[in-house]
Amino acid sequence: MSLTATQILDLAPDAPSRKAGQDQAKPGKWSALGRSGDVVWGEIKGSGASPYRTVADLSGPASKCTCPSRKFPCKHALGLMLVDAAARLPEAEPPDWVAAWAKGRESRATAAETRAREPAKPVDERAQAKRRQARKERVAAAVDELDLWLRDLMRRGLAGVRAEPYAVFDRMAGRLVDGQAPGLARRVRALPGLAAAAPPAGAPRPEEALALGLGRLALLVGAMRRLDHLTAEQAAAVRAAVGYPVTAEEMAARPDAADDWAVLAHAVEDEDKLTARTVWLAGRRTGALAQVVDYGAPGSALPPAPAAGQDFAGALAFQPGEPPLRAVFRDGRAGPSPAGPLAGATRIGTALDGFAAVLARAPWTERWPLRLAGVRFGHLPGSTSEAPLLGVGDETGCLALRTDAHLPALLAVAAGEPVDLFGLYDGFGLGVLALVAQGHLYAVPAQDPRPILMRAA
């Protein structure tokens, strides 16, 4: 098995590890390099007298290193895998320390397989029903408390809300976490940031952003009180926004959505002390959009995923919800992606109609993915040399752009010509994640803060 450099860098637990791993990806730094099947190994000079021994199983992927780093994978494991990705390491007989590590992995895998074959313990349906009822009651109590808290805030007015210390919001978020409503807690913790001064270009003013955040929370509270009046898919979307998990049993019952899925972009964000990686995909035949999200603790690796610019030929399973978007990978394989336009790309007017339809069904939606075809970059009306307002437009309308470090590179790639864009829209501005120019996909790097693009086709 072989991993691409992009797939290996996606395993990095954070941006510094990603950069450090690239610094270690120089064959001249390594000695005793070798490969046996999917297992690669090598030694690299560290701060001690003895070199660090590093081994990785590319089929996992999994790795181990004798360095003292608490991050996984460490920079040496990333560097070793990158060296192999650049030029396949020579086949060799594994040394004793590599063989012992591989044997241990094999023994643990065999033990796990044996446990999986054991008859499952009978399900205590009464206990399950009792737990579900207990959670339902805790969430209902948390929603009631949030409703009262929101009403108290609004009686003081938006100006009063903006003056509240962060502790006011953090205490309410803590109560929601205790009430098993983490989705609501995340939205409450975001309110002070929405009210901050000096918003970036393309973002709503603080009072607008705060009113939107409070309004969305109030809409979710109202939806939770009307679950019995919603369809099954609508109710599932509300529960997902509140923070109910989808169980493995529920996902196993969901149908396959088979297609050739174009991997449009990766996005990595910090979310409630976790690292969240989103992989955005579009079905080439169906035009469906899919969002696959994986979470990892700081310092831990995220599972491998197809790189931006590749195709995933296989099946996804969509979680219940209306509109459907969140999905998980099922069987399939990653491969090269053909050149061409983004699947399902539309004109701006059509994309905005679609965004309005999403808000009609789920008005608490914060951002929604848009695929735009044949748009040009330019300055919006009202721009000045001191305060330029950048956007994209076509004959059906225009959208403001969220200004970020990657925008100059996007403009350079477009070179004034029409391009296809993919990004996230919040009703005020579009944050671009990828573009297609002359049939080639260019994705904004998921974890690299520098204003560069990687060509992904």
Same domain flag for 302 and 215: no
237-262: average pLDDT: 91
Cα 456-453-83 angle, rounded to 5 deg? 65
Which of 291, 307, 329, 350 is CA-nearest to residue 456?
307
Name the percent of the chain lying above pLDDT 70.
92
Contacts of 230 (CB under 8 A, 6+ apart): 223, 238
Q: Is the pLDDT of residue 129 over 80?
A: yes
Q: Is the pLDDT of residue 314 over 50?
A: yes
- Residue with more model confidence, 445 or 242: 242
Contacts of 366 (CB under 8 A, 6+ apart): 216, 426
Same domain flag for 231 and 300: no
Residues in the chain: 457
Last residue of one domain, picked from the residues 117, 144, 173? 117
**17: in domain:** yes
Name the percent of the chain lying above pLDDT 90.
49
> Domain limits at 163?
130-242
Q: Is the pLDDT of residue 108 over 50?
A: yes
**254: in domain:** no
For the entire predicted model, the pTM comes to: 0.77
**455: in domain:** yes
Q: Is 213 exposed, middle or buried (0-12, 13-18, 19+ CB in 10 A)?
A: buried
**260: in domain:** no
Same domain flag for 109 and 146: no
- Residue with more model confidence, 108 or 155: 155
Average pLDDT, the chain: 86
Same domain flag for 375 and 269: yes
Same domain flag for 39 and 112: yes
Report the Cα 6 to chain-centroid distance in Å.
Answer: 15
Which of 306, 312, 140 is CA-nearest to residue 228?
140
Last residue of one domain, picked from the residues 117, 145, 166? 117
Note the pLDDT of residue 299: 60
Q: Is the pLDDT of residue 256 over 50?
A: yes
Note the pLDDT of residue 452: 35
Residue 449 banded pLDDT, cuts 50, 70, 90:
very low
**259: in domain:** no
**224: in domain:** yes
The region of weakest confidence among 10-14, 147-151, 231-235, 407-411 is: 10-14
Cα 69-75-76 angle, rounded to 5 deg? 95
The tens digit of pLDDT for each residue in 3-57 reads: 788 778 878 877 788 889 999 999 999 999 999 988 999 999 988 788 999 999 9
Same domain flag for 325 and 438: yes
Same domain flag for 344 and 439: yes
> Which one-letter DSSP state was computed for residue 386?
S
Note the pLDDT of residue 443: 83
- Residue with more model confidence, 239 or 403: 239
Note the pLDDT of residue 156: 86
Pairing of strands 368-379, 419-425: antiparallel
The region of weakest confidence among 54-58, 111-115, 443-447 is: 443-447
Same domain flag for 170 and 273: no
Last residue of one domain, picked from the residues 82, 117, 152? 117
Assign 443 to helix, strand or coil. strand
The tens digit of pLDDT for each residue in 161-201 reads: 888 899 999 999 999 999 999 999 999 999 988 877 556 55
263-289: average pLDDT: 86
Strands of the sheet containing 62-65, edge to edge, are 30-36, 39-44, 52-57, 62-65
**257: in domain:** no
Same domain flag for 38 and 82: yes
- Residue with more model confidence, 407 or 453: 407
Note the pLDDT of residue 451: 32
Same domain flag for 176 and 104: no
Note the pLDDT of residue 197: 57
Same domain flag for 311 and 178: no
Q: Is the pLDDT of residue 207 over 90?
A: no
Same domain flag for 444 and 333: yes
**252: in domain:** no
Q: In 272-358, which ranges are E strands?
A: 274-283, 289-296, 310-318, 326-336
